[in-house]
A = this chain, B = another copy of it.
Amino acid sequence: MSSFALIVTTSPTDNKTYTALTFAQQLLADGHSIIGIFFYQDGVLNANQYVQAPSDEVNLYQAWSTFQKQSATPLHLCITAGERRGLTDSNEVAFSHNIDDHFTISGLGELVVLTCKADKVIQL
């Protein structure tokens, strides 16, 4: 059994992101551990708590959130990539915290730490 770090760079409207989620779920089901998932590039959009989807579709933002709740897997958001894409953790008047609580605000340094520590690094 190995420890994995995952990197997700695709948005919640891209079906590739669903692949990443099911891969993460399968890793745990097969007895591996995930030390963290790092959301970078358009992947940061998965953390936007206002993402909505019709009831007959998987809402990937909610699915990640649920996955975090159930598995306690750290979901790291690159805040620099996030701010460029309208995500913000500011509570000042001009802003509005729109990052879901199940995501951890991080920087690229966390990418280094995760990928360095993990036995296996998978970019999905």
User: Which B residues touch A86, using CB under 8 A?
Assistant: 45, 48-51, 61, 86, 98
Asked whether A50 lies within 8 Å of B84 as measured between CB atoms, the reply is no
With A and B bound together, what is the CA distance between A36 and B110 in angstroms? 43
Q: Is A8 an interface residue (CB 8 A)?
A: no
Partner of A13, one of B48, B49, B50, B85: B85
Number of copies: 2
Q: Is A119 an interface residue (CB 8 A)?
A: no
Q: Is A12 an interface residue (CB 8 A)?
A: yes
Number of chain A residues close to chain B: CB under 8 A: 21
User: Which B residues touch A65, using CB under 8 A?
Assistant: none
User: Which B residues touch A11, using CB under 8 A?
Assistant: 42, 85
With A and B bound together, what is the CA distance between A86 and B12 in angstroms? 10
With A and B bound together, what is the CA distance between A24 and B84 in angstroms? 23
Asked whether B83 lies within 8 Å of A52 as measured between CB atoms, the reply is yes
Q: Is A63 an interface residue (CB 8 A)?
A: no
User: Which B residues touch A83, using CB under 8 A?
Assistant: 50-52
* CB pairs A–B below 8 angstroms (9 shown): A11-B42, A12-B85, A48-B86, A50-B83, A50-B88, A51-B85, A52-B88, A53-B84, A86-B86
